[in-house]
Structure 1
Amino acid sequence: LYLNGNMNYSYLSKYIKLASANKVEYTIVTNKEHNSEIGLVLAYDYAIDKPEIFVERKTVKAEAEKPKKGGLFAK
């Protein structure tokens, strides 16, 4: 597991804890010449024959605003 060393520490520390808990070896990689949106890469010692290797982003649907209930002191 390769972790992006430029990632915010709060996220990085969570990945480190998960890797350690699951006995997954990890390496923190920091490249000062290139900034990447990729936070981690899980690598194997053999080829993965897949046309798409990136995890798709999930879009979160915004909840419809619930009408506020008027209280005893509401105007």
Structure 2
Amino acid sequence: MEDFQTITVFNFAHEIIVLKSILQNEGIPFLFQNENLIAVDPFASIAYGGIHLKVHRNDFERVQKILDELNNNLEIV
């Protein structure tokens, strides 16, 4: 886990559902630090600094591209 670094942080567990599925389908190793803790107690998110998405250094650019695509395609109806 030494080579894994935080690429982004989420406040609530429901925000990571789609991203988790995409990363699994792409075969990218990842870790959501504090995921279960915040899923159980959402108000603890601020105290623990949110849910940290950690990925391997070699996958950093690939995951950043996925995050950018998700952010650019987000439409609120």
Q: Normalising TM by the smaller chain, what interval?
A: 0.3 to 0.5
> Larger Rg: 1 or 2?
1
Higher relative contact order (CA 8 A, sep 6+): 2
Q: TM-score, normalised by structure 1?
A: 0.36
**Higher helix proportion (structure 1 or 2):** 2
